[in-house]
Structures are given as C-alpha cells and as structure tokens.
Chains A and B, each alone.
Chain A
C-alpha cells in the first residue's frame, strides 16, 4: 500500500528525515515510533503530500504524494495539533468535509460508532480532548479511505480515553483499513501495531514486528523472587542465567532462553531453595529502544 525508498526531508540545513525506507502492507497497523524530534511527523506528512521530500521516493497506493488532490481520494488523515474552526458545530464540520468527496461515508453512522451521536449540535471547541480526537478520526473516515494516517493521535489524552481509542483503531484494522501511525508511547505500539519502525535522529534504527525487534536485540529476561535461605553459589548453576543481583533478599536473575522460567523453577525446587513472589518480566519495545540508543524514551519526553 505504501512504499518508501530512501526518503529524505530537509529544512534548510536541518535533515529531518535521513534516507528512510519501509513498506506498509494492506490491512496492517504500521507504527513509526520515536522520541519527539526524531522526524516522525516530517516523514508521515511527506507521505500525506503536505511536505516536500528532498530526495528518495514515496508511493502511496501507487500515487506520488505530490499529487495531493488525487491522493486524498484514497486516504484519510488526522494531523498532529491541527484543529477545526473555533465556532463550528460537529454536524456542520461533518457536512463540510462530506462535501469534499465524491462518495463520502455516512457521518451519522460514524458519529454513532464513536459515541458522539449526542454531540452533533455541540461546538467542536466545547468537546473534551478525547472527543475532539475522535472527531478528527471521524473526519478522516468521511473520506472513505483505504489508508488512514494518524499522527500522535493519543498524545494528551487521559488513560481511559487512550484505551478507548486503541479499541477503535483496532476495529478499523479489523474491517480491512490500512493504518500508518506515529506515537511515542511504547505501550501503544506494543498493543496496536502489527509492525513498527523505530526512528531515532532522523533515521530508522530498527524495523519489524515487536517480537522480532525484541528477539533481534537479544535482551535478557528478568526473573525475580525473594528467598530467606538463598544459596547464591548454587543459583549460578542454572542454565541460561548470566547475571544475578541481590537486594534485601530479593534476587534478580537475568538470562536468555525460551524456557528460562521453567529451568529456574525446576532448578530451585530441586535444590530445595525456598522462594516467594516469583515474577518474570519479558523485555519490551522500551528495552529495545534503550539498548539501541542508550537512553529511555520516557526520560526524554
């Protein structure tokens, strides 16, 4: 659906997007993840035909995004920080955008689906943040798009509104829409995206499914438990464990391997080591990011 080859975006001397390449397949949710200023918005706006590329190629459903008016017959977008006129009502806004398309979707049905049917006569500016973001998705869907672009859709929303939005985005994917989204929430990417690309300093640092990225990064799992009568030396014998730390009776074991947790449990049971509060934490996207960049994404936002 989308094919990007060595795409570059420059503002004067600043390189915002540095020769990135990726593909988005039909029916998937593809996420561009990275800290603010990584070039996510520049990249997505280039594909939306709103920014000029300085090099490389991009094609969205076979259309060069520079052909803006042709492109927008097939795509729907939500723009970061874009709002609607101050004193417009929800219904007026939907009617207006319906007039832009040859075959607009039925906005009444969309408002119903997004739980906004009772807000039809409300002013857009009087809606809550979450409702406003829903309206911007409704407006994107009026286009009857095959691809939906979402740029930082859930930034600034409270947790409940964010989770509602996730379900809505999933339901759009389930009915066959292709979605390209940017986010700086790792959780969101892990939950929603079929594939992700990590963007750091204008470049793509990694690309694939979340599982693939975690495997590629060869990150350790962490298994923790408390023990009153530990035998630290004995613990060293567990296959796959590479590092052990202890703090006030809490033991953290690090290691790799598909059956690491089973091996640990078998081993400590066999050796009669008492244990309580056993937990296992698997590495996630956040840890991949940390390994690739040397810092935590949460720390820079």
Chain B
C-alpha cells in the first residue's frame, strides 16, 4: 500500500511536469469553451433543441479531456517507461506488477477529473453553465467513457514498438478523433459522410452518452453506445494484458 501510494504520488508529479499534457488537459478545453461561448453564448437555441451552446459543448469537451489523458498521456508514459527500461527497473524490486501499472491509470483518471472540474468551473463562472441531467447517470457515463478510452490507450502502449511509435500513433488517433467525434465541434455541423464516419470512432459514443446524460436523458436511451464502449473496454484491456511487453 505504501509503495502503491508512493508510485501514484510520483506519477502524478511527473505528469504535472509534462507541459504538453497539462496544456491539452487543463488549458485547451476551457480555452475552446471561452472561444465558442463568446461566439454563441449560452442562451437556449432551437439548434440545440432548446439548450444553450455552452451547456451542449461542455460535456463534449469533457470527452476531449478523456481523450487527451487516455490516448496521449497514458500510452506515451507507458511506452517511454518501457523504452527506457523504467518498467524493467521497477520489476527489479519486490513490488507487484499491479503496483507498477495501476498507478498510471489512477493518476490519469484523477487528472481527467481535475480537468473536468476546471472546465465546469470556467463554464459556470463565465456562462452560467447548467447541468440538467441525473448526476448518477452522468457519473456512470463518465466512468464507462473513461474506461473505454483508457483501454484504447493501453492497447496503443502495448502495440507500439517504441515511444516514438507510441506518440505517432497517439497523435494520429487523437486529432482526427477530436474532429470526427463531435468532441470538438457538434456533429450537426458536419457533412453526412463525416457523420457516417463518426460511427466508427469510439469517442463519438463517449460524447453521445456524456452529452445525453448531461441533458437529462436516461442511460437506457444509449443502449448501443453503452454496449460499444463496454466491448471496446473489455477487448482492448484483454488484448493489451495479453500482448504487453515489459521491455
């Protein structure tokens, strides 16, 4: 337990020192919200079925924060640790493999939650953000989305032969995913081909359930999305554990 705690505190500290990661997790989403909030305001509009633009964009940007942590932060940390034999060095101690690996997931989850709060606080202070859903449903949607996205990140770390490949794959997935999932811009603004394509992007389903439960829909309205995310989580985690190399 002592070791687990020390590992988590250390990983947290190291993540905070990663400027790019901190920018995309803590600064970029509120910046986007301020920009689009300034353009569209937060008054109810028929375009968003009677909701304000900021109220709709905020849960989408939460999806963006999950993607930064899961697709960029997590796999890049793990791949670097493997490449520089840090994982191997940790194995050369009496701690369990769980104590080596799980803190990465815990710390990135905590960073997501902090990022989410920063975004919501900015939304509330500047645009009087509303949450009109069931908080329990929203938390379920949040945890499921996070698990699913993190499992994809874990898979990237498992597949990538070195840390350069890991960051290449991470960037290659992260940016298109943001644009094609509705996490950055509402899908309603996109041409039909992009909307079709978005059905193949896991983050689309995250944005769908985060936005839906935020607006007040019950979880039962998102059966398909929930199944897709759960299957991704199980398959990616299983495959990653199976093929993960320590060096």
Contact = CB atoms under 8 A, between A and B. Distances in A.
A88 B85 contact: no
B217 interface: no
A50 B14 contact: no
Interface string B1-37: 0110111001001100110000000000000000000
A82 B89 contact: yes
Interface string A89-122: 0001001110111000000000000000000000
B86 A69 contact: no
Contacts of B86: 82-85
Contacts of B6: 95-96, 99-100
A79 interface: yes
A104 to B, nearest CB: 10
Contacts of B92: 48-50, 72, 77, 79
Interface string B66-97: 00000000000000110011101101111110
A101 B18 CA distance: 28
A81 interface: yes
A88 B80 CA distance: 14
Nearest to B96: A69
Given A48-B92, A50-B91, A99-B3, A82 B84 contact: yes
A87 interface: yes
A82 B14 contact: no
A153 to B, nearest CB: 14
Q: Is the interface of B mostly helix, strand, loop or mixed?
A: helix
A101 B84 contact: no
Contact of B14 (A70, A73, A83, A88): A88
A68 interface: yes
Interface of A, helix, strand, loop or mixed by DSSP: loop
Contact of A96 (B10, B17, B85): B10
A143 interface: yes
Contacts of A84: 84, 86, 89
Contacts of B14: 85-88
Contacts of A81: 85
A83 B89 CA distance: 8
B94 A72 contact: yes
Nearest to A98: B6
A86 B17 CA distance: 10
Given A50-B91, A50-B92, A87-B18, A99 B85 contact: no
A74 to B, nearest CB: 9
Given A72-B93, A99-B5, A86 B85 contact: no
A284 to B, nearest CB: 33
A95 B6 CA distance: 8
Contacts of A83: 84-86, 89
Contact of A100 (B3, B13, B85, B88): B3
28 contacts: A49-B92, A68-B91, A72-B92, A72-B93, A72-B94, A73-B94, A82-B84, A82-B85, A82-B86, A82-B89, A83-B84, A83-B85, A84-B86, A84-B89, A86-B14, A86-B80, A86-B84, A87-B14, A88-B14, A92-B10, A95-B6, A99-B2, A99-B3, A99-B7, A100-B3, A100-B6, A100-B93, A101-B94
Closest 9 CB pairs of A and B: A99-B6, A82-B85, A72-B94, A87-B17, A100-B93, A83-B84, A82-B89, A77-B92, A69-B94
